Structures are given as C-alpha cells and as structure tokens.
Amino acid sequence: QALLVESGGGVVQPGRSLRLSCAASGFNFNSSPMVWVRQAPGRGLEWMAFVSSDGTKKYYADSVKGRHTISRDNSRNSVFLQMDGLKVDDTAVYYCARGSSDWSYFDYWGQGTLVTVSS
Amino acid sequence: SAPTQTASVSGSPGQSITISCTVSTSDIADDDSVSWYQQHPGKAPKVILYDVGHRPSGISDRFSGSRSANTAYLTISGLQADDEADYYCASYSNTLTFDWVFGGGTKLTVL
C-alpha cells in the first residue's frame, strides 16, 4: 500500500526558510516522478513543483520559481521542498504526491503538512 | 490560465450531477490530459478520473468523465451522502513549458 508522509511544517517568520520532507513507501519510488501541491486556508489546490524520477528534470510554478527548490534522494525514498524567502502568502497545507508514469496526473497523496508564515 | 469550474452544485441522493471544467486549448498536453480529484474537508485530495474518463482502481463506476471541445465533464450518478466534497479538475501542459494547473474547485452539496 502506497504511503506518503510529509514533515517539516510549522510556524515561521516572513523571509525565513523551511525545508519540507516527504517519506515514501509501498511503491517503486525510484521510478516515480514526484510533486508538491499546496492549499492555502479555504482555497483551492495549487501545483508548486515537479521532479522527475531520476531528479534531472525540475519544474516550478511561477509563484515559487527562484524561491523554492525541489529535490529527491532515491536512496532514502524521500522528496524535499526547500522554501526560502517565505511570504505570508505561502501559508498553506503542503502535500507531496506521486506523478503518473506519463506525468499527467497525481495518483498517491500524503496527508499534508501545515506551513504558517507569520510575524 | 487556470481551468474554469462552477463554484458549487447540489443534488439529492440518487440523482446525477455534472461538473464542468473549461480549459484553455493552449494549456493541455493533448486532448485527454484532464484529471479530477475529490477532496473531503480536512483530507488529502484523491484522484477519481484521469485522461478525461479513466477511473483508477477502486473508484466507483458512479464517477464518469467526458470531454467536448475544451470542456471536460465529471458526472456523478446515484448521488450518495459521502459524495459531498470539493471536486477539482486539473490540466497538464507540456507545450511551451511543463505545467500542471488546477481549477478553482466545485463544492458539491448532497441535499
């Protein structure tokens, strides 16, 4: 059974950094593209970042490009999101999810970790 | 640009409802790169349809999808109380860049 568990969320001041982690199990992580998706309180879903299965291809939403960095460690079955220069608008639940083999949809999701950016 | 969804829809148990998702034709990788997600309050999203009308294993056949031009549709038949949730469509684009965009979501109320 596929399982994704996010960690690293919390309360952080504007301008500071935070690193989210997502531990995967129950599926072949090494061959799975991974994404981060966020959801601000009371709002809809927003795709943030994508990393290919081998980590060589990375894509970002315009809203976080240049501030956030996605990475993965296939030896640890984990994907990460380094968030720098956090803004109040980055307050959200952050989900990691597995991408389908053709990259077109997201089939497994974690339960999310809450990031609150506040002074 | 984000796909456009109706903000809310409602129906009674046993009825059918349809949610629409209008996508910019420049925002889709191909004609079938639309997926649908169900999200109950406080829970993670769950994919219920991909490639317009394909159901992942374990998803009820009460959920079906179709497409006409640049609009995708999610139909839920035989409405049940547990269907009350938010529903999001998403489009995937690999034309100018790689991009995944969610619609604004549709709140389904089962009366």
Residue B95 has pLDDT above 80, yes or no: no
CB B76 within 8 A of CB B17: yes
Residue B98 has pLDDT above 90, yes or no: no
How far apart CA B35 and CA A85 sit, in angstroms, is: 32
Interchain pair A106, B94: CB under 8 A: no
Residue B28 has pLDDT above 60, yes or no: no
Dihedral, CA atoms, A67, A2, B40, A63, nearest 10 degrees? 10
Give the per-residue pLDDT at B52: 87
Residue B96 has pLDDT above 90, yes or no: no
Give the per-residue pLDDT at B36: 97
Pick from B100, B101, B102, B107 the residue to mutate for testing the A interface (most A CBs within 10 Å).
B100
Dihedral, CA atoms, A55, A60, A64, A69, nearest 10 degrees? 10
Q: Span B15-25, mean pLDDT?
A: 90
User: Mind listing the pLDDT tens digit for each residue in A76-105?
Assistant: 999 999 999 999 999 999 999 999 998 989
Interchain pair B102, A106: CB under 8 A: no
Question: Closest partner residue to A47 among B29, B43, B101, by Cβ?
Answer: B101
Give the per-residue pLDDT at B32: 72
Interchain pair B94, A111: CB under 8 A: no
How far apart CA A79 and CA B4 sit, in angstroms, is: 31
User: Mind listing the pLDDT tens digit for each residue in B45-70?
Assistant: 999 999 989 999 999 999 999 988 88
Interchain pair B47, A44: CB under 8 A: no
Q: Span A39-43, mean pLDDT?
A: 96
Residue A54 has pLDDT above 70, yes or no: yes
Interchain pair A100, B90: CB under 8 A: no
Q: Which long-range contacts (CB under 8 A, 24 or more apart) does A57-62 make?
A: A57/B98, A59/B97, A59/B98, A59/B99, A61/B99
DSSP string over chain B: -PPEE-SEEEE-TT--EEEEEE--GGG-SSTT-EEEEEE-TTS--EEEEBTTTBPPTT--TTEEEEEETTEEEEEE-S--GGG-EEEEEEEEE-SSS-EEEE---EEEEE-
Residue A60 has pLDDT above 80, yes or no: yes
Q: Measured between CB atoms, does B14 come within 8 Å of chain A? A: no
CB B39 within 8 A of CB B46: yes
Give the per-residue pLDDT at A39: 98
Residue B15 has pLDDT above 80, yes or no: yes
Runs of H (alpha helix) within chain A: none
Q: Span A27-46, mean pLDDT?
A: 97
Among A48, A70, A93, which Cα is nearest to B101's? A48
Task: For residue A14, give the amino acid letter.
Answer: P
Reading the block at residue B61, the tokens are: 């056949």
Residue A5 has pLDDT above 90, yes or no: yes
